[in-house]
Amino acid sequence: MSGPEIFVIIIVALLLFGADKLPEIAKTFGKGMRDFKKATDDIRQELETSTRDIRNDLNDVTGSIKKDVTDISENITKDVNEAADNIKKDVNEVTGDIKKDVDEATNDYKYDYTD
């Protein structure tokens, strides 16, 4: 509201209630505004307290889920690494056996051919 609008409201209030009632009305209005602000602050405080508990619970659940996911991920990684190591070991053994057999066959062929 601008200055002229406020001025018009004050003039109307003076005409309706009179100059002697205006301070009492202003006092009552001020007290009502204080009570309203106090009630608003109380509600805000209660909401913050309630949501704080909920936020803490959510943080606990989130932390628990993150821990579980991390544990599962670490176990899967460990299992995959173990399987990969076993496969590499088996492949190396088979490769070694094949190489040994090829070397033996090559040596047998050399001896048979030269005889």
Instruction: Tell whether 73 is covered by a domain.
Output: yes
End-to-end CA, the chain: 119
Number of structural domains (the chain) is 1
Structure tokens at 96: 């070694």
Give the separation between CA 42 and CA 10, rounded to whole angstroms. Answer: 32
Give the separation between CA 24 and CA 3, rounded to whole angstroms. Answer: 23
Instruction: Tell whether 74 is covered by a domain.
Output: yes
Instruction: Tell whether 25 is covered by a domain.
Output: yes
Range of the domain at 27: 3-88
Per-residue pLDDT tens for 100-113? 888 887 776 666 55
Per-residue pLDDT tens for 62-96? 999 999 999 999 999 999 999 999 999 999 999 99
* Residue 25, number of CB atoms within 10 A of its CB: 13
Per-residue pLDDT tens for 46-57? 888 889 888 999
Instruction: Tell whether 101 is covered by a domain.
Output: no
